[in-house]
Structure 1
Amino acid sequence: MEFRILGTGSATPQLQRNPSAFVVTVDNFLILIDCGEGTQFRLLQYKIKVSRLRYILISHLHGDHYFGLIGLLSSLNMQRRTEQLDIFGPQGLDEIIYQQLKYSGSILNFKLQFHVTNPNTFDEILNNDCLKINTFPLKHRIDCTGFLVTKKSSKRKILAEKLPENFPVTFFKMLKEGMDVQDELSGKTYKNADYTIEGSHEKQLAYCSDTIFDESIVDYIKNADLLYHESTFLEEQAERAKFTFHSTAIEAATIAKTSNAKRLIIGHFSSRYKTSEHFLVEAKTVFEDSFLAQEGENFII
Structure 2
Amino acid sequence: MDELTLLRNTRDDSREPSPKALTAGRAALLGSIAADGATTAPAPHRKHQRWMPRLTWAAGVAAAAIMGVLIAGNVTLSAQSAYASDMLRTAATRTIHYADLVAGSEQYLLSHTHARWGICDSTGCKPNDQILDVYMPADPEAEWTLYRDWGDMPGVLTGESIETTRAVDGRFYGPESSWVNVDYADIPLDGAAAYEWLDAQYNGGSASRDEDNFVRMADILRSGLVPAPQRAALLDALSRIPGVAATDNVANLDGVTGVAIGRNEPLRAGERQEIIIDPNTGLVIGERAMSGATLFGWGPNEEISLTAIETTVVDTAP
Give the structure with higher Rg (CA): 2
Greater percentage in helix:
2
- TM-score interval, smaller chain: under 0.3
State TM-score, norm by structure 1.
0.27
Q: Higher relative contact order by CA 8 Å / sep ≥ 6: 1 or 2? A: 2
